[in-house]
């Protein structure tokens, strides 16, 4: 499994790529592998306000439907229309083409609770 070093990770298997005062969010390689083939996504709309730890949408796969949780609070700037049209991008390219939303950060301090790639790799390796 791949966990790029430049990203941050949540315990809910969401990755974050910080870009100035905004950040791109997606689900991790581990999450997409656990879910299986992704067949649908429900994502927030541009302009929606997100609260840290609240559900911001869901991912549907053959095995299950899982909530996606906001790793920080902010306002949705952009939704990846390509991934809505072709949800399998989450499986094929979770860190580039399979990104979900770009969000303007309300409080960059909230990012301090996220894990590094090494910490996330340990977390998924040692989960129950």
Q: 123 in a domain, yes or no?
A: no
Q: 60 in a domain, yes or no?
A: yes
Tell me which residue range forms the domain holding 36. Answer: 22-108
Torsion sign over Cα 115, 44, 81, 65: positive
Q: 11 in a domain, yes or no?
A: no
Q: 30 in a domain, yes or no?
A: yes
Question: What pTM was computed for the model?
Answer: 0.94
CATH number of the structural domain spanning residue 94: 2.40.50.100
Q: 120 in a domain, yes or no?
A: no
Local structure of 94: helix, strand or coil: coil
Q: 10 in a domain, yes or no?
A: no
49: its two tokens = 């306000």
Domain count across the chain: 1
Q: What are the mean pLDDT values of the chain's consecutive 10-residue runs (128 residues total)?
A: 94 96 96 94 97 96 92 97 96 96 95 96 87
């Amino acid at each position: 499994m791949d966990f790029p070093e430049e990203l941050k990770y949540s315990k809910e298997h969401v990755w974050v790529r910080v870009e100035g005062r905004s950040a791109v969010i997606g689900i991790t390689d581990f999450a997409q592998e656990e879910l299986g083939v992704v067949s649908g996504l429900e994502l927030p709309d541009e302009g929606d306000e997100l609260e840290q730890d609240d559900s911001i949408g869901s991912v549907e796969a053959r095995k299950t439907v899982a909530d996606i949780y906001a790793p920080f609070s902010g306002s949705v700037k952009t939704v990846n229309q390509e991934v809505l049209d072709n949800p399998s991008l989450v499986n094929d390219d979770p860190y580039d083409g399979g990104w979900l939303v770009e969000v303007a950060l309300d409080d960059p301090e909230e990012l301090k609770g996220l894990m590094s790639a090494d910490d996330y790799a340990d977390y998924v390796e040692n989960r129950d």
